[in-house]
Amino acid sequence: MNLEQTLRERLDAKTKPIGSLGRLEDLAVQLGVALGTDEPSLDHPQMIVFAGDHGVAAAHGVSAYPRDVTWQMVKNILAGGAAVSVLARQHGIALTVVDCGVDHDFAPQPGLVLRKVTPGTADSTQGPAMTAAECAQAIQHGREVVRALPGNAVLLGELGIGNTSAASLLCAALAGCTLDDCVGPGTGLDAAGVLRKRGVLQRALELHKHASEPLQVLAAYGGFEIAAMVGAIQQAAQERRVVVVDGFISTSAVLVAHAVDPKVLPSCVFSHRSGERGHELMLRHLGAKPLLDLGLRLGEGSGAALAWPLLVSACLIMRDMATFESARVSGKTP
Ligand SMILES: Cc1cc2ncn([C@H]3O[C@H](COP(=O)(O)O)[C@@H](O)[C@H]3O)c2cc1C
Ligand SMILES: O=C(O)c1cccnc1
């Protein structure tokens, strides 16, 4: 019997009608398989917020907010005032921010890892957002950050004004959808703003239409924080850690990691369906079913943090629930 069958049988022996814990049962099985044990247990969860700036945003105003918000929000997260700070604190999740390429010089401080490649990607409508070497470096940084942290669960967070543009381009290139399907308001563009954003991204897509290898596509559109998330996913999966994926941006990193090697996918738990247009298409492309659907469209790792207690519950159900036999409860009538 393989591990998945063992886990299913374990759940079926528990004091509940077969399958009655619904999606929580699938989650418990997934976590057991991902961690390689029939006694899944999560320890030292790590929320890692990867941050970087985007040349396409600087050059074309594709966001409703200015570029400075990226570094200002890094400080807000570290000071404990951002949504992800509050939610990580609520759930006892350790929080690390990684400067992957923010246009600001941060003083070294607790909770901040400095891994800047350059202070922001280049404009993807003019050339590749990253060189191949910069892209490889950002991926390596993501791997190193995960390797240095304890525990067996990584929650993906991100920050970067303009990164819904990069994520939409990755979606179009890797999930085979049109920009009409996957360009949305991001931080809150109005209808005219979305139309303008789509026009800008169409130029980038046209310029890089011959990029076919997943890492070539990633280098074409950026950003440094997305590349670092790709490395983090690869490293976590390799170390048999669980990866809790957040929304539109972090799922775009999964699209890349999956295109490089589909074997990362069983390690990924998709926390929620983002309100950002196109997330549903990414999830469908990956065959992924998200846990929550709260209309979130924030990023930062907020959805991953909100879903975290469900993962803890799934493990506890698998480990701690009594069986019909141990609790002397009568089984189903034959
Ligand atoms: C105050 C503030 C906090 C955020 N936290 C996450 N994002 C999210 O919005 C940005 C992406 O949207 P766009 O592509 O439209 O710029 C990223 O920083 C993402 O993490 C934020 C955005 C803002 C304005
Ligand atoms: O779903 C997300 O991750 C998202 C959506 C809009 C803006 N920033 C992030």
CATH number of domain containing 65? 3.40.50.10210
CATH of the domain at 29: 1.10.1610.10
Residues with CB under 6 A from ligand 1: 63-65, 69, 73, 158-165, 186-187, 298-300
Distance 27 CA to ligand 1 centre (A): 29
pLDDT digits (tens, 9 = 90+) for 259-284: 999 999 999 999 999 999 999 999 99
What is the residue whose two structure tokens read 């280098």? 219
Same domain, 34 and 71: no
Query: How many A from CA of 302 to the centre of ligand 2?
Result: 10
User: Are 25 and 140 contained in the same domain?
Assistant: no
Pocket of ligand 2 (CB under 6 A): 164, 186-187, 246-249, 274, 276, 297-299
CA 82–ligand 1 middle distance (angstroms): 11
List, for residues 93-136, the tens digit of each pLDDT value.
999 999 999 999 999 999 999 999 999 999 999 999 999 999 99
Q: Is residue 333 part of a domain?
A: no
Q: How confident is the model at residue 246 (pLDDT cuts 50, 70, 90)?
A: very high
Q: Is residue 161 part of a domain?
A: yes
pLDDT in tens, 179-235: 999 999 999 999 999 999 999 999 999 999 999 999 999 999 999 999 999 999 999
Q: Which residues pair with 47 in a beta bridge?
A: 95, 155
Q: What span, in angstroms and rounded, lies between the C-alpha atoms of 52 and 47?
A: 16
Pocket test for ligand 1, best of 60, 187, 300 (most atoms within 8 A of CB): 187
Mean pLDDT (whole number) for 161-167: 98
**Ligand 1, closest atom to CA 72?**
1
The pLDDT of residue 188? 97
Q: Are residues 206 and 80 in the same domain?
A: yes
Give me the half-sphere count of Cα atoms (radius 13 Å) on the Cβ side of residue 125.
16
Ligand nearest to the CA of 277: 2
Find tokens 């209808």 and name the residue: 191
Residues 91 and 26 occupy one common structural domain: no
Q: Is 300 assigned a catalytic role?
A: yes
User: Could you report the per-residue pLDDT of 218-228, keeping only the tens digit for each?
Assistant: 999 999 999 99
Atom of ligand 1 nearest to the CA of 161: 16
Residue 229 CA: distances (Å) to CA of 17, 51, 93, 185, 219: 39, 10, 18, 23, 13
3-state SS string over 14-38?
ECCCCCCCHHHHHHHHHHHHHHCCC
Do both 56 and 111 map to the same domain? yes
Task: Indicate if 35 and 133 belong to the same structural domain.
Answer: no
Counted domains in the chain: 2
Question: pLDDT tens for residues 9-49?
Answer: 999 999 999 999 999 999 999 999 999 999 999 999 999 99
pLDDT reported for residue 201: 98
Show the domain range for 101. Answer: 46-311
Q: Does residue 227 form part of some domain? A: yes
Cα 74 from Cα 51, distance rounded (Å) = 8
Exposure of 196 by Cβ count < 10 A (0-12 exposed, 13-18 middle, 19+ buried)? middle
pLDDT in the model for residue 84: 99
- In tens, the pLDDT along 301-329 reads 999 999 999 999 999 999 999 999 999 99
* Residue 1 banded pLDDT, cuts 50, 70, 90: confident
- ipTM of the predicted structure? 0.99
22 in the same domain as 123: no
Nearest-atom number in ligand 2 for the CA of 250 is: 3
Residue 191 in any domain: the answer is: yes
